Amino acid sequence: MTRSPARLRAGLFAAVAAVSVLSRCGGSGRNEPPDPGPGAKVLNVYIWSEYLPKEVLEEFTRRTGITVHYDLYDSNEPVLEKLQSGVADYDIVVPSDYMVRILIELGLLRPIERARLKGFENLDPRFLDKQFDPKNAYSLPYVWGTTGYGYNRVKAGRAQDSWAPLFDPANRGQILMLDDMRECFAAALKFQGHSLNSTDPGILRQAADLLKRQKELVKTFNSGDYANILAAGDVWFAHGYNGQLAKVAAADPQRFAYVLPKEGATLWMDSVCLPRRARNVESIYAFLSYILEPEVNARIVNGISYASANIPARKFIRPEILNDPAIFPSDEALARCELIEDIGDATTILDEYWTEIKAQ
Amino acid sequence: MRRRGRWLGAYAWLVYLFLYAPIAILVVFSFNKSTQTAVWAGGTLDWYRSLARNELILASVKNSLIVGVASTIIATVFGTLAALALGRYEFRGKGITKNLLYLPIIIPEIVIGAALVTFFGVLALHLSLWTVTLAHVVFCVSFVAIVVRARLSGFDRSLEEAALDLGARPVQTFFRVTLPLIAPGIVAGALLSFTISIDDYVVTSFVAGVGATTLPLQIYSMLKVGVTPEVNAVSTLLLLVTVVLIVIAQRLQQPPGEGVRD
């Protein structure tokens, strides 16, 4: 789940952030941060829940004597709000792709000094140099996944491999879609054979028409609890992020499966970033190098069941995770996936269509 | 008459069912074997055992209790003082003060959170458990003041006058006459304040900093991987504690020899 379920809250967080920056305009707000020096033997991490296994942290503390404090969040917007408040003492945050871009644009991140960290070469080039941070000056890929759908194998009758059932009138009232504009358009665009970052008005119009027809088949739009709703049997098909859906499928493989549709889907990435005001710099680089170590990285993947972008780590990842196509899709399947990118003015067109669809 | 009584009874039961069925389901599912919150797969105590080992949840419960107790104490003192001032003295700006006191209750929580984080930013006050406590005091004070004021409105001033007449000093009068009489209001206000603090999410999510994850923040962050029955278990325990607190508070509120009131 990389997007906030509450758009209102997201907007308000952003508004607050803007206000808090304005209120400090002319102050130290826009200057370069002072050199913080080596910092203390602590590290304050702000990260998605279940992204850091406890034993991985304990070993870090054993090896380095650095104490890790960590707090958890459930959507990207609190990261923006905390960093803009200027008074949150985090050293490491792990925002999603689009949020990395926003944080960079707002000048809230500190560049990563590559010379101070070991193991950058372990990272898979397929996850580097993305639009949100073209030279990886500010971010290192931490985990990644896809947005497909989970389905009830008993009810669906047959094995699925396409976006088609989510648009099939035969499944009326049995479909759950993410309450997320870009993700819904991504499903429609990919199903119609287009890039999910298409900006052509004709193509977007076709996708919107498909989503309008789909609307009456959809039982509910939900971005928070989709996996539980599928597991409870309330819908047969649930659009969603692979993490939670793969867990449902792994818990009851007879009944549930995750599909990364053959037409392609969204690739999402959560990246490690350093807030501009981060102070414990020595601890930060010790930690970054630590989590880039293949064995440590594999222990993270084994603990959280999300894919990482660390190539030599794969040797140490448990086979049932490495071979689970819901977590590590094949190279061909992954090649058909795309990150959701900033599509500029086309966003306005999508916004209008989305309002029409939701108001229908 | 009888007929209407029966309908009224049925209606009352339905209302209670509506109010308490979700809580009952939560308690039942905290003993559920399945990891999926909505599927029953037999009884177990495993979630309580894993809860006892889940340091993150335990740490967040500890944070919630620290914030709840600290903000309740501060809010109760200031809320009671405010209620007394408004209840018995005439001063310039009293009307405005009274209305300002209601504001934190009327203003959407999200606006309070937004305003506070900006405020802390301007003060360069680093976000921590203490900023959370301060934020909770902001809205808890209002609740305490309102509850205590309600108690004061039925207050018989002649009792205080009698005490003063009989030679008690004002301070003695306050502690031996006024305070015992309004104590039930203060306790009720404190309890309300504690429960509001314990389950606040919106304001807390804005002002929490390093090491300040409270239980509601912890539960929300777990949504990413789905609410586990561990959350049901911790909620059940919290419910138990709250119920015990309320029972104790009600006992305390009953003057000796008197029956159940309120």
Chain A closest-CA separation from residue B44 CA (Å): 18
d(CA B90, CA B86): 8
Question: Choosing among B25, B32, B36, which should be mutated to test the A contact, i.e. which has the most A CBs within 10 A?
Answer: B36
Is B238 within the bounds of a domain?
yes
The H or E element that residue B23 is part of is helix B2-29
- The percent of residues above 70 in pLDDT, for chain B, comes to 90
End-to-end CA distance of chain A: 26
A233 neighbourhood in chain B, CB within 8 Å: 39
More confident residue, B149 or A25: B149
Q: What's the CA gap between A156 and A72, in Å, rounded?
A: 36
**Contacts B213 to A, Cβ<8 Å:** 71-72
Total domains, chain B: 1
User: In chain A, which residue's Cα lies nearest the Cα of B129?
Assistant: A88
Closest approach of chain A CAs to the CA of B224, in angstroms? 6
B37 belongs to a structural domain: no
The residue range of the domain holding B69 is 54-253
> Which pTM value belongs to this model?
0.80
Contact, A69 vs A240, CB < 8 A? no
CA distance A51 to chain B (A): 10
pLDDT in tens, A220-272: 998 878 988 898 889 999 999 998 898 889 888 999 999 999 999 999 999 99
Distance, in Å, from the CA atom of A67 to the CA atom of A54, rounded to the nearest integer, reads: 13
Fold that domain A7-143+269-328 belongs to in CATH: D-Maltodextrin-Binding Protein; domain 2 (3.40.190)
Among B118, B206, B215, the strongest candidate for a mutation testing the A interface, having the largest count of A CBs within 10 A, is B118
Q: What is the CATH number of domain A145-266+340-359?
A: 3.40.190.10
- Write the ipTM: 0.75
Asked whether residue A278 carries a pLDDT value surpassing 90, the answer given is yes
Chain A residues with a Cβ under 8 Å from any Cβ in chain B: 1, 9, 12, 15-16, 19-20, 23-24, 44, 48-50, 54, 69, 71-74, 78, 81-82, 85-90, 224-225, 227-229, 231-234, 243-244, 247-248, 251
CB–CB of B224 and A89 under 8 A?
A: no
Q: Is B72 exposed, middle or buried (0-12, 13-18, 19+ CB in 10 A)?
A: buried
Provide the mean pLDDT of chain B.
85
Query: Are B71 and B138 spatial neighbours (Cβ–Cβ below 8 Å)?
Result: no
**Could you tell me if residue B134 is inside a domain?**
yes
C-alpha dihedral, A119 to A125 to A126 to A131, nearest 10°: 100
Instruction: Say which CATH number the domain at B187 has.
Output: 1.10.3720.10
- pLDDT bin (cut points 50, 70, 90) of residue B243 is confident
- Assigned domain for B184 exists: yes
CATH 3.40.190.10 residue ranges for chain A: 7-143+269-328, 145-266+340-359
Residue B114 lies in a domain: yes
Inspect the interface and report whether the beta carbons of A44 and B120 lie closer than 8 Å: no
In tens, the pLDDT along B155-200 reads: 888 888 899 899 889 899 989 988 888 888 898 889 889 988 988 9
Model confidence at B38, pLDDT cuts 50, 70, 90, reads low
Of B39, B131, B224, the CB nearest to A74: B224
- Look up residue A188 and give its two tokens: 């429609």
The verdict on a CB contact (< 8 Å) between A12 and B110 is yes
Of B121, B126, B220, the CB nearest to A74: B220
